[in-house]
A = this chain, B = another copy of it.
Amino acid sequence: MIDEIKTVARRHLAADGANLSLRAVARDMGMVSSALYRYFPSRDDLLTALIIDAYNTLGDAVEAADGGIEERDDLRRRWFAVGRAIRRWALAQPSEYALIFGSPVPGYQAPRETAFAAGRTPVVLLRIIAGAPEKALDTPGPVARDLAAVVATLDIDISPTQLARGSVAWIHLFGAVSFELFGQLNNVIEARDEYFDLQLDLMADLVGLS
């Protein structure tokens, strides 16, 4: 039942953006709006559930894509598989992507519980990058300290330099997907797949994957 509500809610997200309406969801299910309160204490809790689900299905897709590459040492290939999987997932459920990576929903504050699910995708990326050869980077002190703190919380054997390059690549990846998804490529680039691959290539160079 909870699953059915979430499915319908996801359909509404797709149609109306983040303006998710409990009443509309209930209507679609042939129920009265108050009935949903048996399953979710409030609209924000439904939103939170959807956010966590989104992070998790993205995480699933990304882990599957990485796991699907037999040659574990071919880091560049794994990078491409993961990058493409992220984009494919985003294009397939744009509103869920916007929910987790788009402009924040007004008045909604994501609770702590989302953090773990949110971390799954970056972790896969960083595991790949951890295998890259060291490539010098002049990281300013304060940034180095922030990154060192991040390394400490991760169960990955990654150098500060790798993490610096990796986090930047991850941000570029996010940028590339968002730019396309939020319509900024419209009337400019039509060969979207190829353009994205071109960017993946440049990012792979940036992190030093061979």
Which residues on A are within 8 Å of B, measured CB to CB?
A: 16-19, 98, 101-107, 137, 139-140, 142-143, 145-147, 150, 164, 167-168, 171-176, 178-179, 182-184, 188-191, 194-195, 197-199, 202, 206
A76 to chain B, nearest CB (A): 15
A163 to B150: give the CA distance in the assembly, Å. 35
A43 to B123: give the CA distance in the assembly, Å. 43
B107 to A191, Cβ gap below 8 A?
no
Please indicate the chain B residues that have their CB under 8 angstroms from the CB of A147 in the complex: 189
Closest to A205 in B: B206
Secondary structure at the A interface, as helix, strand, loop or mixed, is helix
Please indicate the chain B residues that have their CB under 8 angstroms from the CB of A172 in the complex: 171-172, 175-176
Please indicate the chain B residues that have their CB under 8 angstroms from the CB of A183 in the complex: 104
A171 to B182, Cβ gap below 8 A?
no
A174 to B175, Cβ gap below 8 A?
yes
A48 to chain B, nearest CB (A): 15
B17 to A146, Cβ gap below 8 A?
no
Please indicate the chain B residues that have their CB under 8 angstroms from the CB of A176 in the complex: 171-172, 175
A105 to B172: give the CA distance in the assembly, Å. 23
A137 to B189: give the CA distance in the assembly, Å. 17
Partner of A140, one of B19, B184, B190, B191: B191
Please indicate the chain B residues that have their CB under 8 angstroms from the CB of A198 in the complex: 137, 139-140, 143, 164, 168
